[in-house]
A and B are shown apart, each in its own frame.
Chain A
Amino acid sequence: NAGVMQNPRHLVRRRGQEARLRCSPMKGHSHVYWYRQLPEEGLKFMVYLQKENIIDESGMPKERFSAEFPKEGPSILRIQQVVRGDSAAYFCASSREEQPALGYTFGSGTRLTVV
């Protein structure tokens, strides 16, 4: 079991470009969560998805950001027309149940740099 896989590990985009961040949850996990972390800060919740459904997107900006978790394939966090303020580490976590007894499993993150 390879754990939660995120790619790419590092992503550099110019202002105005699109960023696509991928997250493959652990095998058997159908709950996916995306968090954003700015330097020296904690993780800020963005969105919670189950297969083909967005359950809670209260932490995601209304514009330019979108997320999906299709029936097949990884979860995708998409940021359109990136700005310098989007530079951050984006972490994905997964769980088998909505309230896992052993906590969430996190990926190693994607570090987005907007130049």
Chain B
Amino acid sequence: SQQGEEDPQALSIQEGENATMNCSYKTSINNLQWYRQNSGRGLVHLILIRSNEREKHSGRLRVTLDTSKKSSSLLITASRAADTASYFCATRGAQKLVFGQGTRLTINP
């Protein structure tokens, strides 16, 4: 299975701290994407990193990709209460995105 696996499954930090989530996958990929899901809502695309890229930034988000280790990390800096959500990595295979189980992030005020 190409499914990504996030680590940790749950993360609780104080507002203002940085949050780091990791994702591992098993097979070759074209790209890796991170999505956020607020409780009871659909997924929102955050960032896409291609297999030939190593790092990408978007606002307070920083994503790294290590294809030799088949892993990626998502860093959210200066966390806010509104960042509370589940975060999923998704790997792009031949024709579809395959999602991991997600990390549930809670930002405490």
| B-binding residues in A (CB < 8 A) | 4, 6, 33, 35, 41-45, 48, 55-56, 59, 91, 93, 98-99, 101-109
Contact = CB atoms under 8 A, between A and B. Distances in A.
Contacts, number: 55
A45 B97 contact: yes
Interface string B65-109: 000000000000000000000001000100111111110000000
A99 B92 contact: yes
A108 B42 contact: yes
B35 A45 contact: no
Given A42-B100, A45-B96, A109 B42 contact: yes
Would you call the interface of chain B mostly helix, strand, loop, or mixed? Answer: strand
Interface residues of B, number: 21
A101 B48 contact: yes
A41 B101 contact: yes
Nearest to A56: B95
Contacts of A56: 95-96
